[in-house]
Structure 1
C-alpha cells in the first residue's frame, strides 16, 4: 500500500525560490519561482533535463549559492521546521549544513578531498556536529563505513579517494552525508556514471538509511526508472520552474503537462517488440538570460497555442497535491479540443 502524504508533516518548505547568476553575458535566471515541500521519511524526486535548475535548487537549500556571482532573490523562502534558513547567521548555517541537512554530490571523485584520507573526511563531520573526540569519532567512522557496505573498513578508513572504485567512492560520499544522521538528505544524481548493479545497491542503501533515520530525501535525477523505484512525490522542472508536481502514481499514470508526456514517452517500454524508435523532444531549452514571456516549453510543444507564447500559464489543480502549469486546462479552451488531444496522446 502506498504511503499517504500528510503535508502538515513537512520538514522543508521551499516557497517562490528564485536564484540568478550574474555573468559577463547578463543575468542567468537559473531558478524562477520554485515551490515544493517534503516531509520526514518521504522521497521527493525532482526530474527534468540537464540545465533546468535541479542542482541549483539543491545548492540553494544547502546555502551554497555564493556571491557575488550567485544570488538568491528577495522574497525567496526556504523554511526548515518553520524557520527561514536564508535568515540564519554563519554559525547556524554551519550547524544546519552537514548536521541537519546533508548532500550527496553528483561526482564523488571531484567532491571528495583528494588530499585527505576518507576517514578524516568523515571524522571532521563527527567532531564538528556531534561533539565527539577524535578517538570516538574514528570508531564511529569505521562503523558508518561498514554500514554503507565498505569491506575491510578498519583498513580502508586510512585510504585516499583515488584508491576506491567509483561505486565505493559513492558509498564514501553517502557515509559522509549520513554521518550526523541528517533530517534532510539531498541526493544529486547519486548513481551517475555507475553500472546498473552498483546503481541498485546505492539506491537500496539510500532507502535503508531513509527508513532507519526517518530522513526526508530530495532525489535529483533524470532517470524515470530510479524515480519509479524510490519516489513518493515527483516535481517536474523545466527552464527553472516546476511545471508539474504530484504523487508518483499521478505523474506516471495521469500526467497533465505536455513536457511530462514527452519525458515519459522518451523512456523505453518493456512491452516493445522488435525495433522501436524512442520519442525525442525536438529543439532546445530556452536561454534563461532572456526567458520567454509565455510558457517556457511553448517553442517545443506540439500543442502550443497563441496564448502560450504571450502569457505564462496559471497553475491548475487536479487533486490534493497534483498541479500543472498549462493553458490546455483553461476554462476558455473548448472541452472537445482537450478530449481530442487526450485521445491522440492515448493512441499515440
Structure 2
C-alpha cells in the first residue's frame, strides 16, 4: 500500500481573549491507500481540529496552524496550496463528513442539487448528468426510492438517512481520502451499525482511505486497521487495532477501554469514569498531560514529557511506565480483548 497522506509535527493554536490555546501539539501520522485510521479520545482532545487542519478549514483568526507543521498529500504540502488548488482538493481528492448532518446540509436546497454541486465542480458534468449521477449515489448508499428522494429537502429525511446523504455527497467524486468526523453521533445504535457497515462496504468497493474521528472505541473495533489515541492535543499511543484492544500500554488507553460498557455489565453495576478533568491548554503541563488523572503517576511524570517508546514496528507509546526502571504495572482486569 502506498502512502497517501503524511502529517508531520502538526501544531494548531487559537488566540483568545484569555491567551493562546494550544489545541494540537505536535501530532504526526501517516495514512496509506485503502486503509482506515481511527483517531480516538474524549471531547476536546484535538481530534476534530486535526481533521479540519488537513483540509485547512481552521478559521484564521482565531486559528493558527504553526509554520513548522506539514501536511503532505501525495508529497505536496497542503499548507502551501493556493485557493484554486484547495478548491480542487476539497471534495475532489479529500472529502469530509461532518458531525451533524442537519447543520451540514442546506435546508433550503433539494438533496439532489446538493450532491450535484460537487459533480458539476469537480467532474465537469452538466446539471442533467449530475442529477442522474446523484440518483445513483443515493442508491449506492442505500436510500430507497432514490428517483423521488432526489427532489426532497433535508427535513424530509430521518437522521440516519441524512447521514447517508452526507456520505453520498462526500463520495460523489470518488475521493482518495474520506474524513469522517463522528459520523454516528446522535444516531441510535442500530443506525450506527448500518452507517459503519456502509462505510466499510464502500471502502471495499471504491478503495477509499478513511480517517475516522470518534470518542467511541466500540465504533472503531470492526472497521479500523490502525488506531491512534489522542489526549490534550497529543498522540499518547498508536498501533494496529489488535494491539490497542489486546495489548494496550498507556493508562489513558486502559481508562478509555474500561469506560466502555460491556455485555457482561450487570443492570445496577456502576459504570467506570475517568476521574478529574483534562488540563487547561492555555497553560499546558510541562510533564505528561495525563499525569493529574493517572492512577500510576510518578514524580517524573509531572516534571518531564515522556518520549515515544516503540513496542513493535506498528505500536508506539508515550509513557514513563515503559522505562526499564519503572515499577511493573499490569493493565486493569478485563482490559485486553475486542469489545
TM-score (norm 2): 0.96
Distance 2:179 2:122 in 1: 18
Distance 2:260 2:332 in 1: 15
**1:304 matched to 2:291:** no
**1:225 matched to 2:222:** no
1:1-348 residue pairs with structure 2 within 5 A?
A: 9-273=2-266, 275-333=268-326, 337-338=327-328, 341-342=329-330, 345-346=332-333
Distance 1:111 1:205 in 2: 20
Distance 1:320 1:110 in 2: 41
Q: What do residues 196-241 of structure 1 show as CA deviations (whole Å, max 9, x unaligned)?
A: 1111111111111111111110011111111111110000000000
Compute the displacement of 1:273 (Å).
5.0
Q: What do residues 254-311 of structure 1 show as CA deviations (whole Å, max 9, x unaligned)?
A: 1010000111111122234564322211000011111111100000001111111111
Distance 1:197 1:280 in 2: 25
- Give the 3-state SS of the residue equivalent to 1:229 in structure 2: coil
Q: What do residues 17-69 of structure 1 show as CA deviations (whole Å, max 9, x unaligned)?
A: 01111111111111110011111110111110001000111100111012111
- Give the 3-state SS of the residue equivalent to 1:92 in structure 2: helix
Q: Which runs of 5+ in 1 are unaligned?
A: 1-5
Distance 2:155 2:18 in 1: 37
Question: Runs in 1 of length 4+ with deviation above 6 angstroms?
Answer: none
- Give the 3-state SS of the residue equivalent to 1:63 in structure 2: coil
The RMSD of aligned alpha carbons is 1.3
Distance of aligned partners of 1:181 and 1:317 in 2 relative to their CA distance in 1, 3 Å threshold? same
Compute the displacement of 1:345 (Å).
2.9
- Give the 3-state SS of the residue equivalent to 1:192 in structure 2: coil
Compute the displacement of 1:329 (Å).
1.3
**Could you say which structure has the higher helix fraction?**
1
Distance of aligned partners of 1:203 and 1:156 in 2 relative to their CA distance in 1, 3 Å threshold? same
Distance 2:51 2:15 in 1: 19
Q: Which runs of 5+ in 2 are unaligned?
A: none
Distance 2:50 2:141 in 1: 27
TM-score (norm 1): 0.94
Distance 1:170 1:216 in 2: 19
